[in-house]
Amino acid sequence: MDNFIVSARKYRPETFKSVVGQNSITATLKNAIKNSHLGHAYLFCGPRGVGKTTCARIFAKTINCKNPSPETEPCNECESCLSFNESRSYNIHELDAASNNSVEDIRSLTEKVRIPPQLGKYSVYIIDEVHMLSQNAFNAFLKTLEEPPAHAVFILATTEKHKIIPTILSRCQIFDFNRIKIDDSIKYLEFIAKAEKIEYETEALHIIAQKADGAMRDALSIFDQVVSFSGNSILYQSVIDNLNILDFEYYFKMTDYLLAGDVTNCLLGLDEIISKGFDGHNFINGMANHLRDLLVSKNPETIRLLEVSENLRKLYAEQSVKCPVEFLYASLEICNDTDNHYKASRNQRLLVELALLKMADNVGLKKKSLKSDEDRIIHSILPANSSSPSNPAAATIRAQAAHRPEPVAESAHHIVIPESTPSPEPNDRHARNNVVPRHNISIKDVISGKAEIFEEPVKTAEPELETSMDDEPAVESEQSFSQEQLEEKWTAFAETVRAERPRMAIALRSRLPALKAGFQVEISLENTAQKEDFIASTKPYLQAFLRRELLNDLITISVLMEADPDEGKRKMYSTEEKFQYLNSKNPAVMKLKQQFNMEFE
């Protein structure tokens, strides 16, 4: 039985060209060798399994090669290259700092540095996991690292750059290695599969590359594991079974259930996932990744961030069309909250089920909110008994809301009044007879007080020449009413808005109006904030309500401010102002302050 060599060792790159995913670093090292601009100390840092030690070995081998190729690659024919390939080179020394991290080990290293190379130009010292050196070992290494002999080159490798002291970093050329991209990992895995004559599916290699998380060594280890599990083929199903990964089809089906609001199938699907041994935490994280991929698939500029196979990319593009952006935003936030609270939850399954219920409910939230806002405006304008189907005013308002056209994008949250049709003044009696509410108004802005319902004249057709001159214009209602009738209707309106605006209802009941000449109604409010709120969100509806109920179109509402009894008195805020007030009442306070040398805080 032949000895098996793992792929990470068997297919370890031996030239700069074969290094995966580190083109900028290999190009820099090759140019340094080609132009004879070699430094005396290098620091290779980055995640695990991305080629730090591999590049260090290739670099050490190339600078000692007697006949490098025009592409600055080792020839593999000279004695230096052959001795390196056979692991008998005395010019390249590797040291594991994890097990040789004391001052004595560094002192032994500095003594070896003085010995010139027996073969080749340079003695190269590769120190792996250099961050494991002790503080004293770092200090003992400083002098040698800064001024080594001309033939010595140090290459330090680490995964934790932040643990290395600054005095070491300042003496090295630093190369930051990147995580290997999924596409680069897949290409290298395909190369190895073809070399080993192993059948594979591209989706299976995608799963392996994603699981490796940018580490080529991890990807090759998973590759060997799957080959041992499934034989001479790497299939998608065998990969997800061996690595215990949830099939992406579950996420696609679950998203369809959420979009349809199918709570039953959502819960049954989650039960099936858990019954197969998958953890709820892993599911909710996978669901968050799936929703994120759907979000980036909606825009052609961000779809490049989707690191999946071509077939899977098409599925994401198709489902992303069905998903509203608001649904994706809200669902991602729900998944994130569930992830944060999962470990602290006592009933973790219920937490995941509640997250699915919230996501399923998010699809209809916008429609429900819009309908609720329309009903709220209707009830705030009409009296309490106006909900009856026989009420013509209620029917008219609901009909206008139902047939309201969609607003233009630029004016979705604003009210635009054309310059050619200015808004009529409140006292313009003929203009008020021919007004209708604007339909491009944002309901949410009206409710929150950010906008008012403006009115504009209805454009009527020009009268025909044959029209009789005896036709009289419409006469508006001017029925008189008493103070008692005004207070009765005023209180009735306050009752209609009590559920939605309790504070304003209390203010209206506690501050009854006063009827003035010319059907002018005056109300006195406490402060400016209350006045602005009343004018913005209540006055238009209250005025229309009173005109309709009292049968008088000349009613206008004016707002006054109550006189402040303390007006003119200057309030004291600072400590110094309070002290001056006390001093004016009792001069002994100043003597007390001076005697004890007290200061203001």
Closest alpha carbon to 316 in 338, 337, 300? 300
Most confident of 100-104, 152-156, 244-248: 152-156
Same domain flag for 50 and 156:
yes
Of 385 and 146, the structure prediction assigns the larger pLDDT to: 146
Same domain flag for 220 and 354:
no
pLDDT of residue 462: 42
Report the number of distinct structural domains present in the chain: 5
Angle between helices 483-496 and 539-550 (to 10 degrees): 130
Same domain flag for 111 and 17:
yes
* Band of pLDDT at residue 426, cut at 50, 70 and 90: very low
Asked whether the predicted pLDDT for residue 204 surpasses 90, the reply is no
Asked whether the predicted pLDDT for residue 334 surpasses 90, the reply is yes
Span 50-83, pLDDT tens digits: 889 999 999 988 988 888 888 888 888 888 888 8
CATH of the domain at 514: 3.30.300
Cα distance between residue 521 and residue 273, in whole Å: 67
CA angle 349–352–357, rounded 5-degree value: 125
Asked whether the predicted pLDDT for residue 262 surpasses 60, the reply is yes
User: How many C-beta atoms lie closer than 10 Å to residue 81's C-beta?
Assistant: 22
Cα distance between residue 83 and residue 453, in whole Å: 88
Q: Residue 455 is inside which H or E element, if any?
A: strand 455-457
Backbone φ and ψ for 9, nearest 5 degrees, come out as: -90, -40
- Domain assignment present for residue 388? The answer is no
pLDDT average, residue stretch 257-279: 89
Same domain flag for 575 and 557:
no
The total number of residues shown for the chain amounts to 601
Cα distance between residue 75 and residue 80, in whole Å: 10
- Domain assignment present for residue 452? The answer is no
Same domain flag for 330 and 345:
yes
The pTM assigned to this predicted structure is 0.55
Phi-psi region of 96 (alpha: psi -120 to 50; beta: other; left: phi over 0): beta
Instruction: Report how far apart, in Å, the C-alpha atoms of 188 and of each of 9, 177, 230, 289 are.
Output: 14, 18, 20, 25
Phi-psi region of 76 (alpha: psi -120 to 50; beta: other; left: phi over 0): left
Phi-psi region of 541 (alpha: psi -120 to 50; beta: other; left: phi over 0): alpha
Task: Indicate the residue among 243, 267, 287 that finishes a domain.
Answer: 243
Same domain flag for 172 and 292:
no
- Domain assignment present for residue 459? The answer is no
The sign one gets for the Cα dihedral 104, 110, 115, 120 is positive
- Domain assignment present for residue 126? The answer is yes
Which residues on neighbouring strands pair with residue 96, listed in sequence order?
128
Task: Indicate the residue among 218, 243, 268 that finishes a domain.
Answer: 243
Closest alpha carbon to 185 in 209, 218, 203? 209
- Domain assignment present for residue 541? The answer is yes
Average pLDDT, the chain: 78
> At which residue do the structure tokens 């077939």 appear?
311
* Band of pLDDT at residue 445, cut at 50, 70 and 90: low
pLDDT of residue 563: 59
CATH of the domain at 78: 3.40.50.300
Same domain flag for 133 and 36:
yes
Mind giving me the DSSP string for 328-380?
A: HHHHHHHHHHHHHHTTT-SSHHHHHHHHHHHHHHGGGHHHHHHHHHHHHHHHH
Instruction: Report how far apart, in Å, the C-alpha atoms of 471 and of each of 407, 461, 463 are.
Output: 38, 16, 11
* Band of pLDDT at residue 449, cut at 50, 70 and 90: low
Asked whether the predicted pLDDT for residue 265 surpasses 80, the reply is yes
User: How many C-beta atoms lie closer than 10 Å to residue 491's C-beta?
Assistant: 13
Strands 435-437 and 455-457: antiparallel
Same domain flag for 172 and 252:
no
Strands 514-516 and 455-457: unpaired
pLDDT of residue 390: 43
CATH of the domain at 352: 1.20.272.10
Asked whether the predicted pLDDT for residue 458 surpasses 60, the reply is no
pLDDT average, residue stretch 144-150: 85
Q: Which two tokens stand for residue 524?
A: 């006195």
C-beta separation of 293 from 287 below 8 A: no
CATH of the domain at 198: 1.10.8.60
Cα distance between residue 243 and residue 190, in whole Å: 19
Same domain flag for 58 and 153:
yes
Q: Which domain, by its residues, includes 336?
A: 248-366
Helix (H, G, I), strand (E, B) or coil at 521: strand
C-beta separation of 520 from 500 below 8 A: no
Same domain flag for 353 and 260:
yes
Same domain flag for 263 and 344:
yes
pLDDT average, residue stretch 408-433: 41
- Domain assignment present for residue 395? The answer is no
> At which residue do the structure tokens 């007697």 appear?
66
pLDDT of residue 573: 56
- Domain assignment present for residue 1? The answer is no
Task: Indicate the residue among 216, 243, 270 that finishes a domain.
Answer: 243
Same domain flag for 36 and 106:
yes
- Domain assignment present for residue 404? The answer is no
